[in-house]
Amino acid sequence: MPRSLRRAVPTLITLARAALLIPFWRLAVDEHRTGAAAVVAVTIGATDFLDGYSARHLDAVTTVGKVLDPTLDRVALLVSWLVALEEHLLPTWLLWLILLREVAVSAVTLTSLVRTHRRQDVVFVGKAGTFGLLAAFPLALIARATRLDILAKGATLIATVALALLTVALMRYATQLRDDLDRLSREAPPAS
């Protein structure tokens, strides 16, 4: 496979994930076909794994991919969050805490870009938390489609654990930002 095509594969998978967000919303909210929406949500989660896996195994890791993938993760989580809120799939208090964490991590990320001119690398605990949410949302849809309360409870438990992991990741990002800002202030020439 030519190198240019090999480097495009992960990005194409990521873009396919973005394209799936529209049918996911339509199936879940407009048509109330929660079973079909769950299948699309699982596919979205699978493409999140596949783009990273293919980037690493095809030696196709790019700066664009390092920015696009976590950005699309945030968009996919936001769409899933809106579906869960609209359809009452998870407890409202949990959904608002998830959104609050997403706003906080966005603020830390943007502050890091503006103040230090560097993008923070995604940490494993954040990937694990994102995976948890990308599993909890489809499980909540399946619970709705099957009317199995145990699945709804499982989705809530998974989302709660995922939120805890994502909060740990947020603390790591904030600590890294603080350390970067401290380093920059020590390296700055004294004001005259």
| DSSP character string of 13-71 | HHHHHHHHHHHHHIIIIIS--HHHHHHHHHHHHHHHHHHHHHHHHTT---HHHHHHHHH
Q: Report pLDDT digits (tens) over 66-77.
A: 888 888 888 998
Q: Is residue 188 part of a domain?
A: no
Within the chain, what is the greatest distance between any pair of CA atoms? 70
pLDDT of the residue at 192: 66
Is residue 33 within 8 A of residue 86, CB to CB? The reply is no
Is residue 165 within 8 A of residue 129, CB to CB? The reply is yes
Q: Is residue 191 part of a domain?
A: no
List the single range of 58-72, 110-124, 136-150 with lowest mean pLDDT: 58-72
Tally of structural domains, the chain: 1
Question: pLDDT band at 6, cuts 50/70/90?
Answer: confident
Q: Is residue 185 part of a domain?
A: no
Neighbours of 71 (CB within 10 A): 14
Q: Report pLDDT digits (tens) over 39-83.
A: 999 999 899 889 889 988 888 888 788 888 888 888 998 999 999
Give the CATH number for residue 136. 1.20.120
Location of structure tokens 């998974």? 158
Location of structure tokens 């990273």? 52
**Residue span of the structural domain in which 53 resides:** 3-175
pLDDT of the residue at 125: 96
pTM over 0.85? The answer is no
Q: Is residue 32 part of a domain?
A: yes
Q: Of 48-62, 120-134, 163-177, which one has max mean pLDDT?
A: 163-177
Q: Is residue 132 part of a domain?
A: yes
